[in-house]
């Protein structure tokens, strides 16, 4: 390689670094968007990516004024301008190939007239706090970030339904793709819970006349 070629290659290194970095950020954000459990959570990535793009542009404007960092600054501005389109392009590819996790979630219907996989009847006198405890710590796991809780793997949804014989009740819908291991864990937790009185399987809550 001649000296001219080496010099030309070096000139592309400074602007190339922020452009490549923007591409990596766009790909990472698209993967995070695709692997979120719920669509409303994934939607937060749109303003986050726009904010990151703005930071790239701001960095570029701050560094382009100096002769020593001008090439880097130009690259940062370009990276900021193309970050959002690259993110959207990656999301479209993931969507077209069926890799958006939350789009593939089955729609879950709830209600007393809808057949439930499990109907969990609680002990008489169970308080609202205890009912919430069963919902959030027995049938769900706390979010690692401390922002709430997630249903146990294998559970598609939980709903409170009409009490029977003074026993408050929770209807649980099991996902079609739930594994035997996941089902065993759900049943184990319910069996060990002191607030659980009885569990009925594959019933319509409105059709249950008595649990005594």
The CATH number assigned to the domain holding 128 equals 3.30.70
Mean pLDDT of 70-93: 92
Per-residue model confidence (pLDDT) at position 103: 67
Report if residue 74 sits inside a domain: yes
pLDDT band of residue 6 (cuts 50, 70, 90) is: very low
DSSP per-residue letters across 39-57:
HHHHTTHHHHHHHHHHHHH
Domain that holds residue 86: 3-104
- 10 and 92 co-located in one domain: yes
The most confident of the ranges 13-27, 36-50, 139-153 is 13-27
What CA–CA distances, in Å, run from 194 to 9, 20, 182?
70, 56, 21
Report if residue 111 sits inside a domain: no
Report if residue 68 sits inside a domain: yes
- 88 and 123 co-located in one domain: no
pTM for the full predicted model: 0.52
Per-residue model confidence (pLDDT) at position 3: 47
- 165 and 100 co-located in one domain: no
Mean pLDDT of 10-21: 83
The most confident of the ranges 1-5, 80-84, 146-150 is 80-84
Report if residue 29 sits inside a domain: yes
- Given a contact cutoff of 8 angstroms between Cβ atoms, the answer to whether 154 and 201 are in contact is no
Mind listing the pLDDT tens digit for each residue in 127-149? Answer: 999 999 999 999 998 876 666 78
More confidently predicted of 78 and 7: 78
pLDDT > 70? residue 108: no
* Cα dihedral sign, 74-77-81-87: positive
- 49 and 136 co-located in one domain: no
- 87 and 177 co-located in one domain: no
Q: What is the DSSP letter of 68?
A: T
Q: What is the mean pLDDT of the chain?
A: 85
- 98 and 38 co-located in one domain: yes
Considering its fold, how many domains does the chain have in total? 2
- Given a contact cutoff of 8 angstroms between Cβ atoms, the answer to whether 72 and 14 are in contact is yes
Helix axes 70-96, 45-64, angle to 10 degrees: 160
- 154 and 186 co-located in one domain: yes
């Amino acid at each position: 390689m001649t000296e001219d070629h080496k010099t030309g290659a070096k000139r592309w290194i400074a602007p190339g670094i922020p452009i490549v970095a923007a591409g990596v950020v766009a790909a990472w954000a698209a993967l995070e968007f695709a692997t979120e459990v719920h669509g409303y959570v994934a939607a937060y990535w749109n303003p986050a990516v726009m904010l990151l793009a703005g930071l790239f542009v701001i960095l570029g404007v701050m560094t382009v004024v100096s002769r020593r960092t001008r090439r880097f600054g130009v690259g940062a501005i370009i990276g900021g301008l193309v970050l959002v389109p690259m993110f959207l392009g990656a999301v479209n590819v993931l969507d077209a190939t069926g890799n958006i996790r939350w789009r593939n979630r089955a729609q879950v219907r709830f209600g007393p007239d809808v057949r439930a996989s499990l109907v969990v009847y609680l002990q008489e006198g169970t308080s609202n706090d205890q009912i919430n405890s069963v919902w959030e710590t027995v049938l769900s796991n706390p979010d690692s970030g401390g922002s709430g809780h997630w249903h146990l793997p294998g559970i598609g949804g939980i709903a409170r339904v009409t009490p029977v014989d003074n026993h408050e009740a929770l209807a649980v819908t099991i996902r079609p793709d739930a594994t035997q291991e996941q089902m065993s864990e759900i049943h184990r937790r319910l069996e060990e819970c002191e607030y659980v009185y009885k569990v009925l399987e594959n019933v319509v809550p409105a059709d249950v006349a008595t649990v005594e």
